[in-house]
């Protein structure tokens, strides 16, 4: 795979997670009347988007497979493939547990929170 593939994957993941983060902030500062908009973000990626953003002349199925796998490994994202070989990439709903039943569960939550924050850190 080309380095441009990794850059494309990183830009998709970063953009989706930032949009979700902005949606969460926006949602937390608004008054709710039962018509809340979802905070999760999603995008449909087709061959043309991959070709235009990676400099490839052709986008074969193996490339789509690789990009899908790389996106799937990103924390906070899930990927599905449509029948016409498009990738639907969505942010995973955030787990907002704040009451922990044990010390071990608290520590697991802290590890997940640190990983999420590290993944979203714009300075990295």
Write out pLDDT tens, residues 46-105.
999 999 999 999 999 999 999 999 999 998 899 999 999 999 999 987 655 566 677 887
Closest CA to 87 of 74, 105, 102: 74
Distance separating alpha carbons of residues 90 and 99, to the nearest angstrom: 27
What percent of the chain stands above pLDDT 90?
A: 48
Classify each residue of 96-112 as buried b or exposed e, where b means 16 or more C-beta atoms within 10 Å of its C-beta. eeeeeeeeeeeeeeeee
Torsional sign, CA 28, 31, 32, 38: negative
Domain containing 87 equals 3-93
Pick from 9-13, 98-102, 114-118 the range whose average pLDDT is largest: 9-13
Q: 102 and 75 in one domain?
A: no
Q: 86 and 98 in one domain?
A: no
Beta bridge partners of 43: 89
Q: 64 and 8 in one domain?
A: yes
């Amino acid at each position: 795979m080309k380095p441009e593939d990794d850059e494309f994957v990183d830009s998709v993941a970063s953009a989706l997670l930032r949009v979700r983060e902005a949606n969460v902030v926006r949602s937390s500062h608004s008054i709710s009347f039962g018509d809340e908009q979802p905070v999760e973000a999603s995008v449909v990626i087709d061959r043309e988007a991959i070709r235009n953003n990676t400099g490839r002349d052709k986008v074969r199925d193996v490339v789509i497979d690789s990009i899908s796998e790389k996106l799937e490994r990103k924390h906070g994202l899930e990927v599905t493939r449509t029948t016409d070989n498009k990738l639907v990439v969505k942010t995973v709903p955030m787990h907002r547990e704040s009451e922990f039943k044990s010390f071990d569960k608290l520590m697991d939550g802290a590890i997940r929170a640190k990983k999420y924050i590290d993944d979203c850190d714009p300075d990295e």
